[in-house]
Each structure stands twice: as C-alpha cells, then as structure tokens.
Structure 1
C-alpha cells in the first residue's frame, strides 16, 4: 500500500484519534492540567490522588475546574487561589482530611 492512499490516510487518522482519546482518558481534571494516580488495585480501586501543584498556569480560581468524584487526596499547593467558597469540594465525598 502507498502511504498516500486513502486507506493509509484513514489508518493514520484513526491512530491520531486513538492517541488523543487515550490522553483524554488519562486526564482526570478538566481542564487537563493535573496529574492523577489511581490508588489501590484494578480489582479494588480506592480512589485517585490528584496533584495540581505543578501548574504551568497556576489556578487563580476553581471556577470551571472539574475534579474526579473519586478523589481521595487533592494537592492544590503552589497555585494562586485567593478564595475558596464554602462547599467548593462538597461533591468530593471521598476526599480525606
């Protein structure tokens, strides 16, 4: 097959799409700028550790940021948050103190 054939172009496009999809699945925060690690095992997951401390563009607010509901730890150090409203993490019921 020639590399410029429609079939090869379609296969290349699907490969790029799959690569993007894998990247999005690995992202746990929207926008995807934090690192996540699943705690426990595949059979017995215990939630996720979310690390947002190494931001290229530190958070100034949490508006528009979505954290995974199974987060058990959340590191927001080294950000530029000036205010946290009461209930900011109410949906994160598995978060540990």
Structure 2
C-alpha cells in the first residue's frame, strides 16, 4: 500500500488554501509514490501539521513557522522515497558574497 499524507489545518485561521496548495504541490511531485493526500480541519486552533502514515513530518507549533515547500518535499522524499532525486529542490543554494 502506498503512503498517505494528511495535512491538518486550522479552519479558524483560514489556512485551507495553504493546505490545499501544499497538497497540490506534494501530489504533483510524488504522484507515483503516494496513495492519497487528505486535508483535515483541526479542532485545535493554530494547527498546521503534515504527517505520512501517522509519522509527523511538520508541525507549525513545534517548528515555529510554516514549511518552505522545498523543505517539506525533502522531508516527504526522505520518508517515502529516499533514493528519489528532487532535481532543483535538492540543489544547495549558493551564498553570494555581498560587499
């Protein structure tokens, strides 16, 4: 059975669109590897949590912020398909020397 992602979000904070966009990005990237991405409104205020088969990948309250999509895709990949190359999302960003 393919892994399933659940995105739990706070409806009171109006985070449905963020959750839906996150789901779209993950489905687009991991279309062959995922069985489903589910959106679930939370009963707890301020929740934005991403799990894969009940394994916590991201919790806004723990991390103190929302995930960057690149970062979340890397965490999903590391959990469901560690051998998978994410292309530009795997590249290390070069720091430019500003003087």
Normalising by structure 1, we get a TM-score of 0.24
Normalising by structure 2, we get a TM-score of 0.24
Give the number of the structure whose residues are more often helix, by fraction.
2
Q: Which of the pair has more CA radius of gyration? A: 1
